[in-house]
Structure 1
């Protein structure tokens, strides 16, 4: 799972919106339990916003790319590992940050 360490090289931020109670968000909640701590450990400077919102019936993952565009994946009914697979797919299809942008991002952390 070395690709997880690349998340901060590819994205400016991640957002996971889900329902705290709805069955369609069960996989998203399980994903957070299983994988969130590793993602944050390997990408401490990457903002990863997690928002439980009961009005949401269809959970989704949104990533903001380095060019300012957003990419969204629906997570309705997926298992935790499938949610992780969606994140991996986003990571593999996105272009990494250029070296100048990466240095700026690291300077913000320090």
Structure 2
């Protein structure tokens, strides 16, 4: 997971949106619990926002340069798949930076 160390070079902000209690948001909540510390340790200046809202479908947003944002819906994904989606968003940002 070396890509996590360079996350802040390609992404300006990460936002997780999920419901506090719905089963559909469970994997997203667990991903944040297990991975927030590691991501923040490698990217201390990167804003990582966690937004909880009753009934919302789990989503992951990445903001890049010039205000460009990308969203990935996390409904039905496992924690490993969420990690892969975050990696894909990071790579999209790295391509835009070139």
**TM-score after normalising by structure 1:** 0.82
RMSD over equivalenced CA pairs, Å: 1.4
Q: Quote the Cα distance in structure 2 between the aligned partners of 1:77 and 1:96.
A: 28
Residue of structure 2 equivalent to 1:10: 10
Provide, for residues 47-95 of structure 1, a one-character-per-residue CA deviation record: whole Å limited to 9, x for no partner. Answer: 0000111131x11000100121100000002111111110001111223
Count of aligned pairs between the two proteins: 97
Q: Deviations over 1:15-49 (max 9, x none)?
A: 00001101111110110121111000100000000
Corresponding residue number in structure 1 for 2:59:
60
8 Å CA contact 2:16, 2:49 repeated in 1? yes
- Partners of 2:95 and 2:39 in 1: how far apart? 17
User: In the alignment, is residue 91 of structure 1 matched against residue 72 of structure 2?
Assistant: no
Gaps of 5+ in 1: 99-110
For the Cα contact (< 8 Å) 1:75–1:83, is it kept in 2?
yes
Q: Runs in 1 of length 4+ with deviation above 6 angstroms?
A: none
Cα separation, 2, equivalents of 1:89 and 1:96: 11
Match of 1:27 in 2: 27
Q: Runs of 5+ in structure 2 lacking a partner?
A: none
CA contact (8 A) 2:22 2:55 kept: no
